[in-house]
Amino acid sequence: MMDNEKVEEIFLVLEDKLDKTASVLREDFAGIRAGRANPHILDKIQVEAYGSMCPIQQIGNIAVADARCLVISPWDKSLLKAIEKAILASAIGITPTNDGNVIRLVFPDLTEERRRDLVKQVRRMGEDAKVAARNVRREAMEALKKMKTGKELSEDESKNCEQDVEKSVSKCIEELDKIVSAKEKELLTV
């Protein structure tokens, strides 16, 4: 009685969306600085170069000079001002130093208050990710209910599929909790 292809499709979409939820959270966390020089903080910064907007990684080399300093060496020195302007316009909270050849970003030590604010931000982002996972669960459950109402699934098959959806979502939420606690630990480590 069960339409295996439709059920498989529902589970493929479910797993894909849950994986994307976790990977988006990881990407977002990569942009939160923990007091150490992290090139990923520049991932979302776009620089106006040659009449269009380019990611900063495409117009220069980004290197970690030491634990608290990033060095951006543009391939074209005429872009130094544009890179500096883009960094100042972004919300990373670091003032760039331009010496005419490279741009240096010195990461200041995080204060205790700033660390606590970042932990709150991380928790809020984690909660948003959990809400997204729950929305994915709701979509899958609605699709299964439609199949049950349309007599494509029996009562038992429907129950089994719903339990599988719950297991997948619970596993994803556990993963999200691990990601959040790892980032919290990183932020609180001085």
Domain limits, the chain: 4-31+111-188, 39-106
What would the mean pLDDT of 56-76 be, rounded to a whole number?
88
Backbone angles phi and psi of 35, in degrees to 5: 90, -10
d(CA 90, CA 116): 22
* Topology adopted by domain 4-31+111-188: Topoisomerase I; Chain A, domain 4 (1.10.132)
d(CA 79, CA 60): 9
Q: Looking at residue 58, what DSSP letter applies?
A: G
CB of 102 within 8 A of CB of 71?
A: yes
Q: What tens digit of pLDDT does each residue of 121-173 get?
A: 999 999 999 999 999 999 999 999 998 888 888 888 889 999 999 999 999 99
> For 39-106, which CATH class?
alpha beta
| Token pair 């939160």: residue | 32
Q: What tens digit of pLDDT does each residue of 81-125 get?
A: 988 888 888 877 788 888 888 999 888 777 888 888 889 999 999
Q: What is the pTM of this model?
A: 0.72
